[in-house]
Amino acid sequence: MTDILSILQAGANVSLTMTPQDLFDFAKNVIELTKEQLLPMMATAAQTTLLSRKEVMEKLGVCEVTLYNWRKSGYLEAVKVGRKVFYRQEDVQKTLELHGDKTGK
């Protein structure tokens, strides 16, 4: 089978006649390339630490109403898991670095 990716990269206008096996092999190749690109990103996402509202309020030194207002305004993005609200640790850390906390520490 001719390497279809090299034909695509050449940029020429071509017509292809493929056997079902060639099409299957091409699809398999696309899937493998996609997996290679997505798996590292998925592994990173799986390592994301989520903090509860209480933990975030303590870290940032704010009350529940302030945290709610920040979530609604998009100032601090929340993640819902079922009916519970969590915050990504890295988002909370960025907020701390940019604006500090309200506890005076």
pTM above 0.95, yes or no: no
Helices and strands (H and E) in the chain: how many: 5, 3
Q: Which string of DSSP letters, residue by residue, matches 33-60?
A: HHHHHHHHHHHHHHTPPEEEHHHHHHHH
CA separation for the pair 53, 61 (Å, rounded)? 12
Each residue's pLDDT tens digit, 46-99: 677 899 999 999 999 999 999 999 999 999 999 998 999 999 999 999 988 887
